Amino acid sequence: MKQSHLIGLATPLLLSAGTLATAESFYQYAFRRINYIPDARRSMQKYAASYYRHVHWVESQANIEAWHMTAPDNQRLEALWLPHPGSKKAVIVGHGYKGTGITMSNFAHMFYDLGFNVLLPDDRGHGESDGQYISFGWLDRLDYLGWLQRIIDRIGADSQLLLFGTSMGGATVSLVAGEPSLPKQVKAVIEDCGYTDVETELAYLLKKQFHLPPMPLVPLASFLNYRRLGYPLRVVNVRQALTRNHLPLLVIHGAEDVYVPTKMGRQNYAASAGPKALWIVPGAAHAESYWINPEAYQAHVKRFLDIFF
């Protein structure tokens, strides 16, 4: 066989090997845990002083507790519990991608002021919890069911529970809302800037941030995820989960969000089957809606909660 024919036959194999290597690198970049909290993007650093005041407030509470839970697959999970003495209301606050529970201290402070006990979980692959890879809410949704039961055991069967999260956390609590075994004590859901589904979000970010086409990297990442975490990415579908949600839902999304596009908030809102409200926050980029005007954010959340709590 001529050398030119050998090169021609080898080229697709080399290209395939290169594509697989690129997919593996992409998967490791997007899914593998990191053991630190990344710096805030430059546009958010102007809020740093306020952010750290809330962190200090949470960490200085004398009655704060560290909670632990072992999931059915033996993953050890960690959370912070901030009790509000005498209150039967509690909220789980879901954090964003590569964040931790403590990074949601501003929301913990807000909900505490609104009379809620507050649970701040570290999701799998984040903070003090186990997990080598980030599940983008899919495995976490079942963990949150465990945390909900733990709260009910703590404050009673007559408790009133709220699910809240931003970005990945918003997607996570929306996935929880679609679960058939959701406890009756859960009364409402608030999701801020959550995505519609992981495959669409990854395809969008590949094009926007890396100028790469979604094919074949997203399907290959899905295959890698199936091998490592046991499920294809297509199942992480928030919009589909919300079609099964009949709880009151408030969707918040920044009008200038180009990380999780604003249209995703509208699509999640449209999908939900229960009572719902949509607040598109003018001028807000991704996860910025609270920081632009904390007082207005709290007032908007309170108006929603006053209807259902």
Amino acid at position 262, single letter: T
Tokens of 299: 């007032």
Q: What is the pLDDT along the chain (309 residues), one digit of tens a residue?
A: 343 333 333 334 344 767 888 889 999 999 999 998 998 888 899 999 999 999 999 999 999 999 999 999 999 999 999 999 999 999 999 999 999 999 999 999 999 999 999 999 999 999 999 999 999 999 999 999 999 999 999 999 999 999 999 999 999 999 999 999 999 999 999 999 999 999 999 999 999 988 889 999 999 999 999 999 999 999 999 999 999 999 999 999 999 999 999 999 999 999 999 999 999 999 999 999 999 999 999 999 999 999 988
Fold for the domain defined by 59-196+236-308: Rossmann fold (3.40.50)
pTM: predicted TM-score of the whole model, two decimal places: 0.93
Helix (H) or strand (E) holding 290: helix 289-292
Q: Exposure pattern of 261-286 as b/e (b: 16+ CB <10 Å)? A: bbebbebbbebbeeebeebbbeebbb
Q: Residue 134 in 3-state DSSP? A: coil
Bridging pattern class, strands 76-82 and 160-166? unpaired
Q: Do 174 and 194 meet the contact criterion of CB atoms below 8 Å apart? A: yes
Task: List 154's β-bridge partners, or say none.
Answer: none
Q: Exposure pattern of 199-220 as b/e (b: 16+ CB <10 Å)? A: bbbbbbbbeeeeeeebeebbeb
Question: According to CATH, where is 3.40.50.1820 located in the chain?
Answer: 59-196+236-308
DSSP for 114-130, please give it: TT-EEEEEEPTTSTTS-
Amino acid at position 216, single letter: P
* Count of C-beta atoms within a 10 Å radius of residue 38: 9
Please count the CA atoms within 13 angstroms of the CA of 48 that sit on its side-chain side: 7
Closest by Cα among 197, 90, 65 to 144: 90
**Structure letter (DSSP) for residue 101:** G
